[in-house]
Chains A and B, each alone.
Chain A
Amino acid sequence: MSVHDLEKHFQDTIDAEIKIEPLDWMPDAYRKTNIRQISQHAHSEIVGMLPEGNWISRAPSLKRKAILLAKVQDEAGHGLYLYSACETLGTSREETINDLHSGRAKYSSIFNYPTLTWADIGTVGWLVDGAAIMNQVMLTRTSYGPYARAMVRICKEESFHQRQGFESLLVLSKGSEAQRAMCQDAINRWWWPALMMFGPRDSESTNSDQSMKWKIKRKTNDELRQQFVDMCVEQVKLLGMTLPDPNLKWNEETKHYDFGEIDWNEFWQVVKGNGPCNLERLQARKKAWEEGAWVREAAAAHAAKKQKRADANAA
């Protein structure tokens, strides 16, 4: 088969909504792009454990402690599903992690913000997981099989994350004055970073046309962001709180909420590495990996010894 025929077969497969699997021929760009995106997603899950994990020891009730620990553990699991999916494309876990530690690979910028109070935990669950869910359902239809299957699994587990976050805020919103203030303060700090999660404006995004043409991406960054705003404006009312945007206004013509301008300068700074916690996040991950080296080596050494003994006995 010529390369041309392979490309055609590949494209036909995608058009027929059949999944591409690890051993299928694929253009190098497809392979590379998938590696980048799946690993980015995996890194986001793992790094995302840190701002939330921060509050496990200080969770204000046993129930909240258990819920938070379960949620963070889920995220580790999600990272695992995704690293596994990524590995099917020909990279190793170690390489993928090295890319993260070296700064070559990115993770979602939202996790470069600090969780300063208990209310931040509920807010992260509500806004950050909320934004994630909007994207994830679409990703279950992505063309690369292992990625799509990982996403189906993740989606099933994700809904509890957003619900527990919102519920936690609901309790605060009905609590003491100090609790209500804590809740509003957290929303004030996380709202704009959450909007930035949807990425640059469509006008500044690359490759938009192509992905729309192949019906892989069903909505643009701006469309998703708008959908998110519309949803949150309604939800925040249930909390009796406000979103920190004086320009938020219902537009009768478009039937959407108009909202204020994102600080794109902040967006690019954080992506570049100058956010509040970029350094700490990466340091934490590097430290865990480096300090864990002796453990990984010991386990491998022991397995090898055991195998040798087993072989010797069998002989």
Chain B
Amino acid sequence: MKATLDYILHLADNALILGQRNAEWCGHGPVLEQDIAISNISLDLIGQARSFYQYAAELKGSGTTEDDLAYLRDERQFRNILLVEQPKGDWAFTTLRQFLFSSYQQLLFQKLTTHDDERLAAISEKTLKEVNYHVRWSSEWVIRLGDGTEESRSRILSALASIWTFTGEMFMPESFETTSGIVVTDLETAWKEKIKTSFAEANIDAPENTFMRSGGKKGIHSEHLGFILAEMQYLQRSYPGCEW
């Protein structure tokens, strides 16, 4: 079974939008070494996005390019989850989000390395190496901040309270996932276990009985995406049909 175009776009959009958000730290990180670390992760995500967009472009055909997909689709056509478009917040929010998302990506790509779609499997295998690092790096930060100072603890708890509502969407199946042979609900238990271990070390607890926001996969986004795309796509929209 081959992956559908929409599914590949969903994977690409997730990576691009999160890459875009993380890149906002470049030049503004809390310490030089970490500035480099988060930029590295951003670069990885943009690289992932490109791999997926290039595949999607081929699936679409008619001379479509990766940039056509990234720069000329509008808000209602993007398929990323709400989690990745939220503002970067402070270092607690950024690292926590990275941890929650990368842990999901890790489980997902592990599954996808054996997918029938060879291209998807190949991209997943390559991406998994980077994602493993993202999980490691971000989990350490969650622990540092949860088990650091009073202030860092209060910030990570604050971040947790505001972010948890966006975590459910990762496991809500969308038609393009099912049609591509991916069962996201299967990943949820493993994900929760994974999160629990690091949370324990950070001395924090996952919230329970939270209403879960969704819609991103369907193209119904939060108001943030509009601004992200306006900034990101502006040159291509202002100077249509140009080479860069």
- Which of B43, B66, B145, B239 has a CB less than 8 Å from the CB of A178? B239
Q: Are A284 and B27 in contact (CB under 8 A)?
A: yes
Interface residues of A in 64-78 (CB under 8 A from B): 64-66, 69-70, 72-73, 76-77
Of chain B, the residue at the smallest CB distance from A305 is B147
Q: Are B67 and A73 in contact (CB under 8 A)?
A: no
Residues of A near B27 (CB, < 8 A) are 46, 49-50, 53, 72, 76, 284, 288
Q: Are A295 and B26 in contact (CB under 8 A)?
A: no
Cβ of A296 within 8 Å of any chain B Cβ, yes or no, is yes
Residues of B near A61 (CB, < 8 A) are 67, 71, 236, 244
- Which of B24, B46, B152 has a CB less than 8 Å from the CB of A298? B152
Bound CA–CA A190/B9 (angstroms)? 40
Nearest Cβ distance between residue B120 and chain A, in whole angstroms? 19
Which of A62, A83, A174, A299 gathers most chain B CB within 10 Å? A62
Question: Would you give the 0/1 interface string for B117-147, flagging 1 where the beta carbon is closer than 8 Å to chain A?
Answer: 0000000000000000000000000011101
Which of B27, B32, B50, B66 gathers most chain A CB within 10 Å? B27
Bound CA–CA A301/B145 (angstroms)? 9
Of chain B, the residue at the smallest CB distance from A51 is B27
Residues of A near B239 (CB, < 8 A) are 60, 176, 178-179
Q: Are B152 and A288 in contact (CB under 8 A)?
A: no
Bound CA–CA A69/B34 (angstroms)? 15
Q: Are A80 and B144 in contact (CB under 8 A)?
A: no
Question: Would you give the 0/1 interface string for B219-243, flagging 1 where the beta carbon is closer than 8 Å to chain A?
Answer: 0000000000001101110010111
Nearest Cβ distance between residue B60 and chain A, in whole angstroms? 16
Cβ of B23 within 8 Å of any chain A Cβ, yes or no, is yes
Q: Are B47 and A296 in contact (CB under 8 A)?
A: no
- Which of B35, B90, B144, B244 has a CB less than 8 Å from the CB of A60? B244
Per DSSP, chain A at the interface is: helix
Q: Are A64 and B149 in contact (CB under 8 A)?
A: no
Of chain B, the residue at the smallest CB distance from A288 is B28
Of chain A, the residue at the smallest CB distance from B156 is A298
Q: Are A296 and B36 in contact (CB under 8 A)?
A: no
Residues of A near B106 (CB, < 8 A) are none
Bound CA–CA A76/B236 (angstroms)? 28
Residues of A near B66 (CB, < 8 A) are 62
Question: Would you give the 0/1 interface string for B142-163, flagging 1 where the beta carbon is closer than 8 Å to chain A?
Answer: 0111011101100100000000
Cβ of A255 within 8 Å of any chain B Cβ, yes or no, is no
Nearest Cβ distance between residue A216 and chain B, in whole angstroms? 28
Once A53-B27, A62-B53 are accepted as A-B contacts, the answer to whether A298 and B148 lie under 8 Å apart by CB is yes
Residues of B near A73 (CB, < 8 A) are 26, 36, 39-40, 43
Q: Are A64 and B46 in contact (CB under 8 A)?
A: no
Nearest Cβ distance between residue A108 and chain B, in whole angstroms? 16
Q: Are A292 and B91 in contact (CB under 8 A)?
A: yes
Q: Are A69 and B28 in contact (CB under 8 A)?
A: no
Once A61-B244, A288-B30, A295-B31 are accepted as A-B contacts, the answer to whether A301 and B23 lie under 8 Å apart by CB is no
Q: A66-B47, A69-B43, A118-B235 provided; 17 other pairs, C-beta below 8 A?
A: A56-B26, A57-B23, A57-B231, A58-B232, A60-B244, A61-B71, A62-B53, A76-B36, A77-B36, A79-B32, A168-B244, A174-B243, A176-B242, A288-B27, A295-B145, A298-B149, A302-B143
What are 13 pairs between A and B in contact, CB < 8 Å? Answer: A49-B27, A60-B244, A62-B49, A76-B26, A80-B32, A83-B32, A291-B90, A292-B29, A294-B151, A295-B30, A296-B30, A298-B144, A302-B144
Q: Could you list which residues of chain A lie within 8 angstroms of chain B, going by C-beta atoms?
A: 46, 49-50, 53, 56-66, 69-70, 72-73, 76-77, 79-80, 83, 118, 168, 171-172, 174-176, 178-179, 284, 287-288, 291-299, 301-302, 305
